[in-house]
Amino acid sequence: MNETRRLHASTERFAASVALPGDKSLSHRALVFSGMAAGDSLVSGLGNGADVLTSAHVLGQLGVRFHPDGSAVAVSSAGVGAWTEPAAPLDCGNSGTTMRLMTGALTGQSFTASLIGDESLSKRPMDRLVEPLGVLGARISTDDDGTPPVVVEPCDGLEGAEIVLTTPSAQLRSAFELGAIQASGDSVVSSPPGYRDHTERWLETMGLGERKDDTFVVHPGPVPATKYDLPGDTSSAAFLWAAAAISPGSEVTTPNISLNAGRIGFLEVLERMGVEVDASVDRAILGDPVGTVRVRGTTLRGVSIDGPLTIAALDELPLLAVVASFADGPTRVANAIELRVKESDRIASTCEMVRGLGGGAEPTADGFEVVGLGWLDGGTVASFGDHRIAMAAGVAATATRNPVDVVGSEATAVSWPDFYETLESLWSSR
């Protein structure tokens, strides 16, 4: 399927408050944690994207059961040590998060499990899981080129270990930690900064870990059955913030979203570009801050970002390229080589998107540069099957001089099935 959606700009300002769908990162974790726990857990605010449903499906293949409980989902499991051997490979679809987290969770099983994915996921590197889980004693393998399927075989028992990761990847750290809680002794993990630390905050709240200086110590033990009240998705909110940012005088408020430091790098970038940003913490969920963000668009200026800020804004970098196109002066992004191995090569696909809309963008060795013309014309862009490219193009269309045709617009269903409708509703909600 390759649907094309035509989107039109609006010259009107807007002021809206929007409730976001459940946070995708936290939804994956809530399902995996609940599936590993013995007993009944309750998850409210679960995300409705295809990737989250994929995690539920994979856990279902292992004997975990799900049923509606009002507006929440009840998760029943005999616990990770009692998972049943799957009758078929565990199909992770397009969800790299599902594959990485479940690989870590499966390391202590007494059966062999194979994790597969769709055409896109089957091209993404998974060999980076082998070493950190291997130091625990896990037996993990991939295809010769490091791509799926990922095969997890029984081992003689997991033992606590120490690992220093060179990549600040939350998913890689989480996979290690989900294996480490099944080990016979403490484990220690460290990596460069900038990653989202949801898993570690949850483990610490549950008594299964503690932060020590620049490391995180994992204490083995059973995951408790828990009630999870998940906030709205920060990465989804970013698209609405961007729509306000490129429309001077427009304003959007996003209540009840995760304000984890590893999730709000894009807000810092917007502030550097001149956007008015107000964020406040209202509560915490398992040690993770949740609150409200208000963004008001103003005149934009180009910026340069690198290091931890790039990592903290990694998912939003295609969106940043759109915002940067409406700014005055160039924007440069460095230390973003991880974009090469997402749902698409996001360095290449981001630059093609901007150029397809009449802007100027060029790839660099580890990022990209955007000219910053102060406008985009419009045109036809391909999503490359990547939900963040499809959504970034949708945001661009709200302020282009001419309509935008997004080819492969259905890719948004991975994380936010109602994205286009929500974007269009900003003007009707005044």
- Annotated catalytic sites, by residue? 315
Query: From CA 149, how far away is CA 126, in angstroms rounded?
Result: 9
The pair of three-digit structure tokens given for residue 178, joined into one six-digit string: 């989900």
* Secondary structure of 342-368 as H, E, C letters: CCCCHHHHHHHHHHHCCCCEEECCCCE
Token pair 């935008």 in the structure block, residue:
404
Q: How far is CA 44 from the centre of its chain?
A: 19
Separation between Cα atoms, residue 223 and residue 243, nearest integer Å: 40
Determine the 3-state secondary structure of 241 from DSSP. helix
Measured from the Cβ of residue 164, the count of other Cβ atoms closer than 10 Å reads: 11
Reference 265, options 172, 195, 370, 340; nearest CA is 195
Shortest CA distance to 153 belongs to which of 142, 164, 166, 140?
Answer: 140
Q: State how far the alpha carbon of 137 is from the alpha carbons of 193, 248, 280, 376, in Å.
A: 26, 55, 43, 53
Element housing 266 (H / E): helix 265-272
251, two tokens: 């304003």
